[in-house]
């Protein structure tokens, strides 16, 4: 209680100060980047253009040339949908020292994460719902849908399928994507494109060490063979002893004065393989992760490190992609995926509770792209998935409380037309029909894209999306202990309106401004049944969110790469007229990568401000400003790269809101920590 009070007292001043500071930085950087290149005009060129002849091919490839002249046969992916999009590249990942997918996502305008020292949850534009295992954001790896079929989850922390070092680029598409992707594409679609063997071209070994006896290693082999086949194989292994943690809420003699020892331990390993041959790509990935839980959730024994969760998931996908003379593009995929979770929860002797989930699924998708005349581009296709197994269970030595076996199937068909009405005006209209659990849903999308001038584009976007309730929300119950099922759940739905203005301030600096409004109905929400005190999911909430985002993204002539953004959102539950929990009203982000020695040594700074977030007890987790710093050396010796990162540079004490299973209202996050990594390439 005292702790809570102290936190509230200092909230206001910290928030304002950090907000002002960050805005000032953003403004300063924007000015700094814009001014010099205009002040130094090149004689034969446009006043604000750099001297291209002094640029490397890598830099030239980043120049926005403002025209899309050709019916480029490649690169026209479904994910390049007309939306507000952010792209992160391998270069950003390397130079900022990102270790997990959550690290990447925290730097994206409008996104934030919540870590409860078990899983990391992704929030976007004010939505980070308790009990939602990232089921409202669709995450694709090379087009494969990674969300599993029990919780609809893709874990973005240690249990993420990929080692982030294998990512070539990440495309983050905000707004609903159900008109192309169906369920789960509720708030955003994230497409991850992995590296190919030729990007590695040899063997790459990486070794990293960090505080609290944390070690990581990665072995990657990649090659493009003379026959055209391209192969990538990679294995990563991570182990962290974890820190000794203090929790105020457990500060009593019986619970070791709030200190949990050896209870934050984490281990995971991933395997990834990709073979490209001609038009075929075969991919397989697997991850195993174990996390001990130091927070004593669901009333488990505090400071007993036997309480832990284990997750493993993997997939195999075969894709065929062919372009028939630029006239017809065909993509066909068949996939198989599996997921297993097993949790062990320690209660006072001799009571140990076991919880598990097991999912298997397979499916196929087919997509066609066709140009009709000069002005129409059609995309159509279908998807079918059968969920062979969606089982959940809960038991202990006294009995079985849940043994739920499910199987289901769903399918969808979609059509989209991209109509280039004039040179300036493009209209994209599409819809998808899905059938889930025997219920049908149709989700349309409409986008009007207007080129105002060479340097500015205006997008007006309307979209609808849905998310079918998952088997966890429908059928999970643990025999009257904490939670019960609700088989009657309907899908939740969303309508969104957004206007985006993109402007190229100069060649390598793009500014984006967007205004949006979300209307959600039948939001599936964890509630407590007053009759029995059990947690149950219900379609109750009607939520409205309104907000805006401002951002710049660019690379200056001197090699400085900057991303800066400010986002504001007001969420409101239409029944209670209250702001949602875990919903920061404002966020500001700044990422700068600056070369210290050209092509050799880089410094990357990251600042993140996340506004105050309400907790379940109507208190709040304070606003915070976090700073991370990475020094990256390329080829410090032949074929050897080195990086050193300090996370939470100023050792700021901050926390994320806890969920209903936690005694803690706010879960304190890590203080200052270090990470050192060496990467060696055998060519």
Partner 1 sequence: MIRSEKTKRNSRTRSLMLMVMALIAVLTAQQTRADDDEASNQEYRVKAAFLYNFLKFVDWPKEKDANDNDPITIGVIGKDPFAKSFDPIKDKPVKNKKVVIKRFKSIAELKKLGETANPQINKQIEAAKKCQLLFICRSEKDALEDIFKAVKNQPILTVGDTDEFIKTGGIINFVTDEQKVRFEVSTAAANHAKLKIRSQLLRLAKRVIEKENEKE
Q: Which stretch binds partner 1 (CB under 8 A): 17-25, 115-123, 130-138, 515-523?
A: 515-523
Three-state DSSP at 498 gives strand
DSSP state of 74: S
CB of 48 to partner 1, least distance (A): 10
Which residue, 210 or 465, has its beta carbon nearer to partner 1?
A: 465
CB of 281 to partner 1, least distance (A): 13
Determine contact, residues 432/182, Cβ cutoff 8 Å.
Answer: yes
Determine contact, residues 377/348, Cβ cutoff 8 Å.
Answer: no
CB of 77 to partner 1, least distance (A): 10
CB neighbours of 52 closer than 8 A, spacing ≥ 6?
45, 60, 63
CB of 168 to partner 1, least distance (A): 12
421 contributes a contact to partner 1 by CB under 8 A: no
Q: Which stretch binds partner 1 (CB under 8 A): 6-14, 154-162, 342-350, 441-449?
A: 441-449
499 contributes a contact to partner 1 by CB under 8 A: yes
Instruction: Give the pairing of strands 188-194 and 137-141.
Output: parallel
Determine contact, residues 184/153, Cβ cutoff 8 Å.
Answer: no
Side-chain half-sphere exposure of 225, counting CA atoms within 13 A: 10
613 contributes a contact to partner 1 by CB under 8 A: no
CB of 518 to partner 1, least distance (A): 11
275 contributes a contact to partner 1 by CB under 8 A: no
Question: In angstroms, rounded to a whole number, what is the distance separating the alpha carbons of residues 91 and 641?
Answer: 13
Query: Which residues in the 525-564 window bind partner 1 by CB under 8 A?
Result: 542, 544
Q: Which stretch binds partner 1 (CB under 8 A): 139-147, 153-161, 197-205, 597-605?
A: 197-205
CB of 392 to partner 1, least distance (A): 25
423 contributes a contact to partner 1 by CB under 8 A: yes
Question: In angstroms, rounded to a whole number, what is the distance separating the alpha carbons of residues 81 and 476?
Answer: 36
Question: In angstroms, rounded to a whole number, what is the distance separating the alpha carbons of residues 52 and 50?
Answer: 6
Question: In angstroms, rounded to a whole number, what is the distance separating the alpha carbons of residues 377 and 632?
Answer: 43
Residues in the interface with partner 1 (CB under 8 A) total 72
CB of 522 to partner 1, least distance (A): 6
- Give, in degrees to the nearest 5, the angle at Cα 455 between 452 and 460: 45
Q: Which stretch binds partner 1 (CB under 8 A): 45-53, 116-124, 252-260, 286-294?
A: 45-53
415 contributes a contact to partner 1 by CB under 8 A: no
67 contributes a contact to partner 1 by CB under 8 A: yes
x/- mask, partner 1, residues 452-481, rule CB under 8 A, reads xxx---x-x---x-x---------------
| Residue of 108, 260, 441, 564 interacting with partner 1 (CB under 8 A) | 441
Q: Is 649 left (phi over 0), alpha (psi -120 to 50) or beta?
A: alpha
Total residues found in the chain within this entry = 683
Question: In angstroms, rounded to a whole number, what is the distance separating the alpha carbons of residues 366 and 320?
Answer: 10
CB of 258 to partner 1, least distance (A): 46
Which residue, 211 or 572, has its beta carbon nearer to partner 1?
A: 572
CB of 682 to partner 1, least distance (A): 15
Burial class (CB in 10 A: 0-12, 13-18, 19+), 286: middle
62 contributes a contact to partner 1 by CB under 8 A: yes
682 contributes a contact to partner 1 by CB under 8 A: no
CB of 68 to partner 1, least distance (A): 6
493 contributes a contact to partner 1 by CB under 8 A: yes
Which residue, 370 or 495, has its beta carbon nearer to partner 1?
A: 495
Q: Which of 550, 580, 579 is nearest to 566 (CA)?
A: 550
Q: Which of 64, 70, 66 is nearest to 50 (CA)?
A: 64
Query: Which residues in the 298-357 window bind partner 1 by CB under 8 A?
Result: 322-323, 326
490 contributes a contact to partner 1 by CB under 8 A: yes
Q: Which helix (H) or strand (E) holds 531?
A: none
Q: In this structure, what token pair is assigned to residue 367?
A: 């997509």
Burial class (CB in 10 A: 0-12, 13-18, 19+), 532: exposed
Q: Which stretch binds partner 1 (CB under 8 A): 56-64, 311-319, 375-383, 646-654?
A: 56-64
Q: Which of 505, 587, 584 is nearest to 549 (CA)?
A: 587
599 contributes a contact to partner 1 by CB under 8 A: no
């Amino acid at each position: 209680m005292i702790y809570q009070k102290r936190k509230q007292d200092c909230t206001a001043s910290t928030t304002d100060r950090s907000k002002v500071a960050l805005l000032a930085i953003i403004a300063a950087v924007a000015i700094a980047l814009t001014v010099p290149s205009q002040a130094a005009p090149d004689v034969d060129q446009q006043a604000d253009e750099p001297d291209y002849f002094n640029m490397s091919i890598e830099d030239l490839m980043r120049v926005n040339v403002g025209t899309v002249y050709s019916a480029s046969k490649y690169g026209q992916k479904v994910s390049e949908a007309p939306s507000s999009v952010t792209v992160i590249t391998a270069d950003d990942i390397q130079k900022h020292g990102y270790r997990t997918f959550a690290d990447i996502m925290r730097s994206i305008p409008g996104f934030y994460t919540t870590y409860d020292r078990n899983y990391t949850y992704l929030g976007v534009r004010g939505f980070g719902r308790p009990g939602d295992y990232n089921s409202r954001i669709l995450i694709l790896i090379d087009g494969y849908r990674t969300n599993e079929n029990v919780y609809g989850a893709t874990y973005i922390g240690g249990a993420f399928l990929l080692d982030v070092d294998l990512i070539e680029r990440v495309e983050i598409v905000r707004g609903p994507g159900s008109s192309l992707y169906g369920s789960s594409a509720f708030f955003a679609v994230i497409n991850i494109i992995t590296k190919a063997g030729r990007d590695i071209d040899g063997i790459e070994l990486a070794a990293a060490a960090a505080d609290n006896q944390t070690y990581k290693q990665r072995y990657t082999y990649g090659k493009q063979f003379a026959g055209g086949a391209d192969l990538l194989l990679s294995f990563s292994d991570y182990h962290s002893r974890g820190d000794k943690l203090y929790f105020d809420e457990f500060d009593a003699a019986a619970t070791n004065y709030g200190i949990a020892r050896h209870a934050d331990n984490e281990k995971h390993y991933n395997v990834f393989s990709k073979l490209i041959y001609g038009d075929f790509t075969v991919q397989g990935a697997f991850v195993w992760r174990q996390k001990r839980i130091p927070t004593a959730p669901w009333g488990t024994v505090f400071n007993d490190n036997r309480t832990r969760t284990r997750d493993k998931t993997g997939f195999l996908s075969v894709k065929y992609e062919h372009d028939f003379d630029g006239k017809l593009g065909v993509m066909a995929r068949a996939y198989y995926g599996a997921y297993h979770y097993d949790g062990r929860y320690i209660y006072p002797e001799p009571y140990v509770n076991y919880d598990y989930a097991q999912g298997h699924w397979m499916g196929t998708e087919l997509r066609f792209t066709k140009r009709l005349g000069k002005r129409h581009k059609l995309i159509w296709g279908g998807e079918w998935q059968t969920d062979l197994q969606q089982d959940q269970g809960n038991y202990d030595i006294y009995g079985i409380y849940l043994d739920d076996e499910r199987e289901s199937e769903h399918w969808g068909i979609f059509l989209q037309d991209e109509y280039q009405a004039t040179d300036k005006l493009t209209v994209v209209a599409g819809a998808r029909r899905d059938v889930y659990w025997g219920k049908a849903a149709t989700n349309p999308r409409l986008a009007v894209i207007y080129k105002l001038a060479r340097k500015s584009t205006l997008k007006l976007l309307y979209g609808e999306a849905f998310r079918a309730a998952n088997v966890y929300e429908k059928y999970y119950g643990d025999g009257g202990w904490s939670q019960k099922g609700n088989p009657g759940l309907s899908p939740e739905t969303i309508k969104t309106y957004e206007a985006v203005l993109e402007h190229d301030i100069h060649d390598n600096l793009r500014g984006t401004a967007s205004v949006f409004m979300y209307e959600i109905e039948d939001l599936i929400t964890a509630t407590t049944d007053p009759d029995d005190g059990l947690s149950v999911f219900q379609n109750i909430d009607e939520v409205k969110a309104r907000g805006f985002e401002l951002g710049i993204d660019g690379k200056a002539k001197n090699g400085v790469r900057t991303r800066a953004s400010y986002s504001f959102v007001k969420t409101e539950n239409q029944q209670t007229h209250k702001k949602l929990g875990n919903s920061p009203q404002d966020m500001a982000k700044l990422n700068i990568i600056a070369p210290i020695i050209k092509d050799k040594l880089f410094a990357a700074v990251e600042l993140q401000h996340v506004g105050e977030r309400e907790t379940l007890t109507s208190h709040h987790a304070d606003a915070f400003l976090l700073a991370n710093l990475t020094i990256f050396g390329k080829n410090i010796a032949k074929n050897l790269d080195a990086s050193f990162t300090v996370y939470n540079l100023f050792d700021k004490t901050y926390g994320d809101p806890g969920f209903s299973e936690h005694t803690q209202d706010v879960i304190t996050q890590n203080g200052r920590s270090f990470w050192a990594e060496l990467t060696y390439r055998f060519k």
